[in-house]
Structure 1
Amino acid sequence: MANASSKLTNSGCKRVQLNLGKVAEIPLRHRTNIRSLSKALNFPKSTVHRRIKEGKIRPHSNALKPCLSEDNKRARLRFCLSMLEPNSLQGQPMFKSMYDYVHIDEKWFYISKEAERYYLLPEKEEPHHCCKSKRFITKVMFLAAVAQPRFDENKNEEFSGKIRIWPFTYKGPAKKNNKNCAVGTLETKAIVSVTKDVIRACLIEKVLPAIRSKWPRSSATNTIFIQQDNARPHVDPFDVGFLEAVSRKGFDIRLSYQPPNNPDMNVLDLRYFRVIQSLQYQEVPINIDELVYAVEKLFEELSRETLDHVFVTLQACMLEVMKINSGNNYKLPHMEKRKLMRDGSLPCQIQCEPHVVENALAHLHLSPGF
């Protein structure tokens, strides 16, 4: 028979009582990691870590967002309202399908990250990762053009939405001998300064022909809007060279701006570029040619479901913007899009509550027929 002293009633280490109410009183700058938080609370790091695992303390990554002026907010709210179906404002408001919009944007793709994480066996040597300067990692700017994918009644793809992605590169002679080529050999080089003339040439010589060749013939007579951000090198909607190039063919293609300081109003900035870049790092390119090949290949291989989901996410973001009267301090909505897609119930147009539209119009002092 066991002794009373051997019973497991009060044995072991006693649980440290942590007053979680004190956490809210600590300035955010002293809550950026477990070490600083434990020091501010005057508790061991292990105690704080246990409370995090238990869910009593929630870790949060805070991304830096653009600072919006009042003019930015008003333009942002007007943009979201303009994306509603005009005929739906009197009944159940609904966002446009966006089938006639092409989103374009540029992004720098780097050949490598400053820091990489690998998983190694204990006896294996750590890989050596180096470059001449962290400030000058090899990079190439790309311009991408995408639209919302289209499907028939049986969910068969009619249009992938992926128009193309183009690198800003050129062929030039090598200025000196190196391990890859001799002096004078033509090699691929990145265009460092992407000016308005470069963007205009890309639009006229590459983007417009690609849209005309890939656009579904069933809607070729509709007006196609190329949406771009407000970067200085971008071409004005009334640019003479662009309008002349558009008038040569039968398509009605127009340029339009998204609200300034609003990357979340473009599907490429919203998520699509991030997906491509995360996959591109796994390709491990060693020169510009391999980097260009990897980005172009991943752009073509990325599933059209991913692009379709980002367009649905864009509508959900615009709905959140209208709910908070044009701010950008909202949480990215999660709709379980993959589950809805499997069930065949993923919407291509999101409905909006009438009171949300009414509040947004009142905030702008507009009438329902704005």
Structure 2
Amino acid sequence: MEKFKCSKRTVSRLWAETKNNKALGQQYIYKIERSLAHGVSCSKTTVWRWIQQGLIRAHTSAIRPDLTAPNKLLRLRFSLQALEVDSILRNLRFRSMHNTVHIDEKWFYMTKGTHRPLFGPDGEVIFDEKIGIFPFTQKVPAQRASKNRPVGTMVTKSIESVTKEVYRECLIQKMLPAIMAKWPTGASKVIYIQQDNAKPHITNDDPIWRQHANQNGFTFILVQQPPNSPDTNVNDLRWFRAIQSFPTQTSSQTINQLIEVVHKAFEELSPNTLNNVFLSLQECMVEIMKVKDENSYKLPHMKNGELARADALPLNLEVSQDLVRECISYLIEQRGNHGA
């Protein structure tokens, strides 16, 4: 303790975290092998031999949709608007995003094929900020009898077409109550719900939404992320991919079983994973500022694991003031060029 100039409690905590991280890493590798073995219909031993021989390797598919010129400007402006001035250090950094909920839809298949966590002073999770995951399903009577059920039995079916009405009902009847039930005491009750520009999504001025947007001291505001920019939403960036790996390891015969598996995957994902995804989001925004009107950038690796073990993982990334000035000048120039 004298050597590291810290308390016995801190040493014990760091030692426990290191052992836990090692165990989680081994467990994660095992899950990858198991999932891949299941996907290619072979044993885990065979998969491990392929990895050792270099026949297969990890690959990350970057999100690179087609962006129009206006899309790129909106994406850049959106990234700049996520910044704030640190009143103490007098530098520019991303807002905490603690009152921003990211929502999106995701298909999960039976066949093969929100907010950041709040941690206490000793690393305990105060609020994991996983609001909920809600299936778009409905109960309908079975049209025909089978060996498993008689005709007329209520069965779960997926809603094939998510309309504005279905989406609005999910927001109002499921999302808002879940947020209010889980929201930590003392946190801001002005909450921004970020969504993409899919056709079923409603806007903040939707009249029915407005009737429910202010309740129990909460103010809910729907905001649209830039068009064709899934890299500005944590769900598309990495979160859904993390959840998706779990159902592929379990065989689901019914929709109810699939829902159970997806919910279990959602609950078991570590809050640290979600925290890292939000940092990845901020890294993406920094790269967006650097490339401006381009659509190709390489996401730098912060080595979050090493920083966390050294208790040096930032909550929000700092951004160079020179880069921000450069981006603002670029936006002004483009506005002049296009007469907007």
TM-score by length of 1: 0.71
Mapped contact 2:92–2:319 kept (Cα < 8 A): yes
Which residue of the partner structure matches residue 303 of structure 1? Answer: 270
Mapped contact 1:148–1:307 kept (Cα < 8 A): yes
Change (3 A) 1:93 1:252: same
- 2:309 counterpart of 1:342: yes
Show structure 1 runs of 4+ deviating over 6 A.
59-62
Kindly provide the amino acid, as one letter, of the partner of residue 142 in structure 2. Answer: A
Q: How far off is 1:256 after superposition?
A: 0.5
Task: Report 1:92-241 matches (<5 A).
Answer: 92-114=91-113, 146-220=114-188, 222-241=189-208
Kindly provide the amino acid, as one letter, of the partner of residue 70 in structure 2. Answer: D
Which is bigger in relative contact order (C-alpha 8 A, separation at least 6)? 2
Q: How far off is 1:113 after superposition?
A: 1.9
Q: Tell me the distance in 1 between the aligned counterparts of 2:193 and 2:293.
A: 23
Larger Rg: 1
Change (3 A) 1:354 1:269: same
C-alpha distance after superposition, 1:145-192 (max 9, x if no partner): x11111123322111010100001111111112243221111111100
Q: Structure 1, unaligned stretches of length 5 or more?
A: 1-52, 115-145
Q: Tell me the distance in 2 between the aligned counterparts of 1:81 and 1:152.
A: 29
Which residue of the partner structure matches residue 8 of structure 1? Answer: none
Q: 1:320 aligns with which of 284, 287, 294?
A: 287
Q: Tell me the distance in 1 between the aligned counterparts of 2:107 and 2:294.
A: 27
Mapped contact 1:76–1:326 kept (Cα < 8 A): no
Q: What is the count of residue pairs matched by the alignment?
A: 278
Q: Tell me the distance in 2 between the aligned counterparts of 1:326 and 1:357.
A: 15
C-alpha distance after superposition, 1:268-302 (max 9, x if no partner): 11001011111111021111111000001110111
Kindly provide the amino acid, as one letter, of the partner of residue 197 in structure 1. Answer: E
Which residue of the partner structure matches residue 74 of structure 2? Answer: 75
| SS at structure 1 position matched to 2:156 | strand
Q: CA RMSD in A?
A: 2.2
Once the two structures are overlaid, the 10-residue window that deviates more, 348-357 or 74-83, is 348-357
Q: Tell me the distance in 1 between the aligned counterparts of 2:102 and 2:63.
A: 23
Q: 1:274 aligns with which of 241, 252, 273?
A: 241
Sequence identity (%): 46
Mapped contact 2:69–2:293 kept (Cα < 8 A): no
Q: Structure 2, unaligned stretches of length 5 or more?
A: 1-51, 334-340
Change (3 A) 1:85 1:190: same
Q: Tell me the distance in 1 between the aligned counterparts of 2:63 and 2:86.
A: 37
- Which is richer in helix? 2
Q: Tell me the distance in 2 between the aligned counterparts of 1:63 and 1:215.
A: 33
